[in-house]
Amino acid sequence: MSTEMLLLDPRPPVPEPDEGPAERLDTLDGAVIALVHNGKTHGRELMEMVIEELKQRWSIAGVVHLGPPSPGYGGDADDAKPVAEEVMAAISAVGD
């Protein structure tokens, strides 16, 4: 004999994305690029190495750095918004 039981779920609904993925660039020539580091030790230096590599392949117009003051600070959309308006591409990395 079985019993019908209604079980509740604590998980939030999966949010619908506000917008689709950003438009992809055909080339980085002339692009302003954001380097987003995660605040970890040497995170910014690692991103600098990435941009140096990219500069050898494309004519990068500018670089904007963005990252939290410490790894414990998760970042803020208000900080990222002006950068998002300025740059054409962003590079981030996950690591420790």
One DSSP character per residue, 31-72 reads -EEEEE--SSTTHHHHHHHHHHHHHTTS---EEEEE--SSTT
- Please state the closest distance from residue 29 (CB atom) to other proteins, in A: 31
Taking a C-beta distance cutoff of 8 angstroms, is the pair 85, 53 a contact? no
Q: Tell me whether residue 42 or residue 57 sits nearer to other proteins (CB atom).
A: 42
Closest CB to other proteins among residues 23, 72: 72
Shortest Cβ distance from residue 7 to other proteins (Å)?
5
Residues that bind other proteins (CB under 8 A): 1-13, 39, 41-42, 44, 69-75, 77, 96
